[in-house]
Amino acid sequence: METMRLNLGDWKQAVKELMEANQRLTLENEQLRKILKREAPSGPSSEKKAAGKPPAPSEITSDEVVGEGYDNLARLYHEGFHICNVNFGHLRTEGDCLFCLSFLNK
């Protein structure tokens, strides 16, 4: 009976962990769907822009590269993802992250 009780406790813990992971992935999936709907091309003009050639490396200045990278990180953070080295790419579930905010303020 004791072994069965221990096994049941292990199973309960495994179910709890799976339910938490499922909830986290569900939230992340919903956020990604919202982002995808927001960034989906909405007409032929956006297709023409996407089909255009990217600028040559000699045409890009260093200020544009730094600004673009910062903008991308800020956009990711505001979409609900960590940009700090501690949890990079994970979904932020508990509000603002001090590590991410300090990284953005550098």
Instruction: For 76-85, write each residue's pLDDT tens digit.
Output: 888 888 888 8
* Vertex 60: Cα angle to 35 and 83 (nearest 5): 40
Query: Which residues are within 8 A (CB) of 100 and not within 5 positions of it... i.e. 6 or more apart?
Result: 77, 82, 83, 84, 92
The whole-model pTM stands at 0.42
| Residue 35 neighbours by CB under 8 Å, 6+ apart | 79
CB-based contacts of 93-97 (< 8 A; 24+ apart in sequence): 93/24, 93/27
**Which amino acid makes up residue 98?**
L
The per-residue pLDDT for range 25-65, each reduced to its tens digit, is: 888 888 888 888 888 766 555 444 444 545 554 454 544 44
At 8, the amino acid letter reads L
Amino acid at site 36: L
Average pLDDT of the chain to the nearest whole number: 77
